[in-house]
Amino acid sequence: MLNEIRTVYLDFDLNIEAYRFKGIMQKFPSHFHEYYVIGFIEEGQRSLVCKGEEYIINPGDLLLFNPYDTHSCEQIDGKTLDYRCINVTPEIMKKMVLEINGNECLPRFNQNVLYRSELVDNLRELHLKISQGESELKKEELFLCLLEELIQKYSDLATLSSPASENTLEIKAVCAYLEGNYTKKITLNDLSAISGWSKYHLLRTFTKKMGISPNSYLETIRVNHAKKLLEKGIKPIEVTFLTGFSDQSHLTKFFKKQVGLTPKQYMRIFENGGGS
């Protein structure tokens, strides 16, 4: 159909695929994948058959397919389907599980449909970050947190993650690194190496101790430095590259989210001796 949108994003930071289907009516016959599929419906109602079980799935329902789970689906409301999903190979899933609980086991999800799941919002945000080419740090935070929730609540793997350390020396070292290198591209691998912890353990411990994720901490540092530069009359386009933002739209997005004003609006406050 002319109005169909079928898009595949290959994310080389996470090594996963992100699919988006919009406005399709296609019926999918029985098939399976050799990878995990984590998806959700945005619009449309479908009849799903997975491993012999029948489901009616609606917007807001999360779908979980293990490798080789046979499934089929078709539209039943006469309307088109809008759908997003990520595909995770067993190799990548095994690496993520090792980060989360220290084991190299593959999870088997015990529910194929999570009705009206709050995790849809997490998956949607991750999918959007992938499609928008967001920073690796932000995407990896979202990806790890999503998988942690799914694995610990809906899979056959027991929760074996160790409790967060109360030692603050590692957290201080990570904060110092972020504050000293905010103009550079920073990844969880970098922060993991500094702390000596796994990426998962770092993410959970840092967020618990600081009340903010490493990526949000980095964004705040960048915005604070941007404010100082704008107060001196430096143009937003220059501020963008002096503070580590990838482009001016990213600067504007994060600046407005934290300050409530665009960089240009903020800069005008300090023009002409502080006049508005």
Q: How far apart are CA 237 and CA 147, in angstroms?
A: 37
Q: How far apart are CA 54 and CA 73, in angstroms?
A: 10
Amino acid in the structure at residue 192: S
Q: What integer pLDDT is reported at residue 178 of this predicted model?
A: 93
Q: What integer pLDDT is reported at residue 150 of this predicted model?
A: 95
Largest Cα–Cα separation, the chain: 72
Topology of the domain comprising 5-154:
Jelly Rolls (2.60.120)
Backbone angles phi, psi at 114, to 5 degrees: -110, 105
Cα three-residue angle 138-143-147, rounded to 5 degrees? 155
Q: What integer pLDDT is reported at residue 276 of this predicted model?
A: 39
CB contact set of 107 (below 8 Å; sequence gap of 6+): 93, 97, 150, 151, 155, 156, 157
The residues pairing with 236 across neighbouring beta strands, listed in sequence order, are: none
What percent of the chain is modeled with pLDDT above 70?
94
pTM of the entire predicted model: 0.74
Q: Which has more confidence, 160 or 170?
A: 170
CB contact set of 170 (below 8 Å; sequence gap of 6+): 194, 195, 196, 197, 202, 205
Is the CB of residue 243 less than 8 Å from the CB of residue 226? Answer: yes
CA contacts within 13 A on the Cβ side of 150: 32
DSSP H helices, 70-168, are 90-101, 119-131, 136-154
Q: Which has more confidence, 209 or 215?
A: 215
CB contact set of 101 (below 8 Å; sequence gap of 6+): 151, 157, 158, 159, 160, 161
Q: Which has more confidence, 51 or 84?
A: 84
Tell me the pLDDT band of 161, cut-offs 50, 70 and 90.
very low
Q: Write down the CATH number for the domain with range 220-269.
A: 1.10.10.60
Is the CB of residue 186 less than 8 Å from the CB of residue 141? Answer: no
Q: What integer pLDDT is reported at residue 162 of this predicted model?
A: 46
pLDDT digits (tens, 9 = 90+) for 256-270: 888 888 899 888 887
Tell me the pLDDT band of 275, cut-offs 50, 70 and 90.
very low
Domain positions in the chain: 5-154, 169-211, 220-269
Name the average pLDDT for the chain: 88
Region 166-178 average pLDDT: 84
Tell me the pLDDT band of 109, cut-offs 50, 70 and 90.
very high
- Kindly compute the dihedral angle of the four CA atoms of residues 195, 201, 206, 208, in this order, to the nearest 10 degrees: -150
Tell me the pLDDT band of 67, cut-offs 50, 70 and 90.
very high
Tell me the pLDDT band of 140, cut-offs 50, 70 and 90.
very high
